[in-house]
Structure 1
Amino acid sequence: MGEDLDGRKVLVTGGTRGIGRAIATAFLAAGAEVVVCGRGEPDSLPEAGGRRARFAAADVRDAAACRTLVRQCGRLDVLVNNAGGSPAAEAAEVSPRFVDKVVALNLLAPFYLAQAACQVMRRQPDGGCVINIGSVSAHQPAPGTAAYSAAKAGLLMLTRALALEWAPQVRVNHVTVGMVATEAAADHYGDVAALNGVVPMGRLASPADVAAACLFLASKQAAYVTGADLAVHGGGEVPSRFLAAGG
């Protein structure tokens, strides 16, 4: 699947840890040149296939910083908008500053980066593609996620709108990610082993599962795929009424 990614330039936001690191590593293994970004350089960078990712410091919530980041990449074939997330917060009590930050990271940052990437990609003979890493929260919110869920729902609609406007030069797709077994999964979800039973596939996703979806969407096999929402959530969650009944 990855042979057509040889020599491609890929930018992965939040690519220094967790899901983003797995995505960056997968693209490196597939032959791509990878740039990862974050606000601070990590102790180690993703590497695979004899290649190591290059780090660029950037606060992707800032539109000017996004433009600078993309400009530093030079050629850009694939943008993976992975940076995101939010702690749980009670909607009735949350501050405007908190909401602003959550929306900026999960919706505005992908918009700013996609805009800058489009300016580069549309001038390239082979165009390019944008992959937005979304969440099941865009489809089914949970308590404490009002701002996050709203931003992620916006990201899904942004994906479809940009795909409509930018085809055929730039493809734009979305990956709906469910629960993922990252290093911080226990802190985020609680008892991870207990959660395996509520996922039809019988386990949480691994970061590599998400990375594989990104490789497909960036490959020639997906050359006619744009505006898509690829669900990587193991079938979602078994409805609570069946779990309560022991079914």
Structure 2
Amino acid sequence: MANPSYDFTHRRVLVVGGTRGLGNTIARRFARAGASVTVTGTQSLRSAYDARLQDYDYQRLDLTNHDSIVRVAEQVGPVDILVNAAGARVPHTADAQEQEFVSHSVRLGLLGPTQLAHRLRHRLAESQMRGGGAVISTHHLRRWCEMAVGGANAHTEMLNTTSRLAAAWGSNGIRVNAVASTVVVPRQAPQRGDLDKESGPVLTRTRTQRTGTLHDVAEAALFLASSGAAFITGQTLMVNGSGAGGARIAH
């Protein structure tokens, strides 16, 4: 079955964390739908990544650094759609005091994806899309919430953050939604992916059953950004497959 068809021609999309994994999948999907896409990563040069990034504008962004957030917000230009798909990573060289400072700043909203969204709010409000500008968060937002409130309350905080921003920014014509997913990387993959246990049950079906992919999550993100979801805001869409047990979503 073919994927749904979307037309994002002339729309400007910023995918934070668009250099790899789910973020890169979402960036490619928006580009195929006609959007002008900017991706961010933590490396100085786009050539440092394995993914093909030549089709996108590239901005270096460290969400744990205030100056980096300000610089990107000033340089990125107009934005219709902001996708948060960057994981929470504190530099390995940071000592315990520095790590606590970052966590405290995230808790106050001074660092992380929420701070970037706040700095882009006025540009999102200028979007001429039906339904207004759109902010789409992925399960990576949960990792930032863990830094702020701890693992036990992270999923609830992700839901609350989405609904709070949607309520606050609705009068500005900005929609805020999220996609929560269970991501499992196959054994042959070099890295272990994020496993969001609270976003839905993990399936233990045999290999003959349907297996979801990052493309399934990307399609949900594009739907929430599209005119078809123009009157949907403050919602977290659970992408965990069909049937009682949910599906396995893999790289």
TM-score range, shorter chain: 0.7 to 0.9
Amino acid across the alignment from 1:154 = E
Partner Cα distance (1:185, 1:100) in 2? 33
Alignment of 1:15-54 (within 5 A): 15-40=18-43, 41-43=45-47, 45-46=51-52, 52-54=55-57
User: Residue 188 of structure 1 aligns with which residue?
Assistant: 192
Partner Cα distance (2:141, 2:244) in 1? 10
Question: Does the 8 Å CA contact 1:182/1:206 hold for their aligned counterparts?
Answer: no
- Number of equivalences: 219
TM-score (norm 2): 0.71
Greater alpha carbon shift after TM alignment, 106-115 vs 163-172: 106-115
Question: Does the 8 Å CA contact 2:64/2:112 hold for their aligned counterparts?
Answer: yes
Structure 1 residues 26, 103: closer, same or farther in 2, change over 3 A? farther
Alignment counterpart, residue 177 of structure 2, candidates 173, 179, 182: 173
CA shift at 1:148, angstroms? 4.7
Partner Cα distance (2:116, 2:20) in 1? 20
CA shift at 1:24, angstroms? 0.5
User: Residue 134 of structure 1 aligns with which residue?
Assistant: 139
Partner Cα distance (2:187, 2:32) in 1? 21
Greater alpha carbon shift after TM alignment, 22-31 vs 53-62: 53-62
The one-character-per-residue Cα deviations of 1:163-213 (angstroms, maximum 9, x if unpaired) are 011115100001111124379856426xxxxx75259x9465311111111
Q: How much identity, in percent, do the aligned residues show?
A: 31
Q: Does 1:233 align with 2:240?
A: yes
User: Residue 198 of structure 2 aligns with which residue?
Assistant: none
Structure 1 residues 227, 17: closer, same or farther in 2, change over 3 A? same
Question: Does the 8 Å CA contact 1:180/1:206 hold for their aligned counterparts?
Answer: no
Q: Does 1:147 align with 2:145?
A: no
Q: Does 1:212 align with 2:219?
A: yes
CA shift at 1:68, angstroms? 2.3
User: Residue 14 of structure 1 aligns with which residue?
Assistant: 17
TM-score (norm 1): 0.72
CA shift at 1:73, angstroms? 2.0
Amino acid across the alignment from 2:24 = R
Amino acid across the alignment from 1:58 = L
User: Residue 221 of structure 1 aligns with which residue?
Assistant: 228
Partner Cα distance (1:86, 1:198) in 2? 32
Structure 1 residues 238, 63: closer, same or farther in 2, change over 3 A? same
Structure 1 residues 2, 166: closer, same or farther in 2, change over 3 A? farther
Question: Does the 8 Å CA contact 2:142/2:158 hold for their aligned counterparts?
Answer: no
User: Residue 90 of structure 1 aligns with which residue?
Assistant: none
Gaps of 5+ in 2: 91-95, 194-201, 247-251
Partner Cα distance (1:135, 1:77) in 2? 21
Structure 1 residues 187, 3: closer, same or farther in 2, change over 3 A? closer
The one-character-per-residue Cα deviations of 1:110-166 (angstroms, maximum 9, x if unpaired) are 21111012121213444310001126979xx9xxxx835544542321110010111
CA shift at 1:26, angstroms? 0.5
The one-character-per-residue Cα deviations of 1:46-85 (angstroms, maximum 9, x if unpaired) are 46xxx81111111122334223213222110000011015
Q: Secondary structure at the match of 1:167?
A: helix
Question: Does the 8 Å CA contact 2:176/2:233 hold for their aligned counterparts?
Answer: yes
User: Residue 76 of structure 1 aligns with which residue?
Assistant: 79
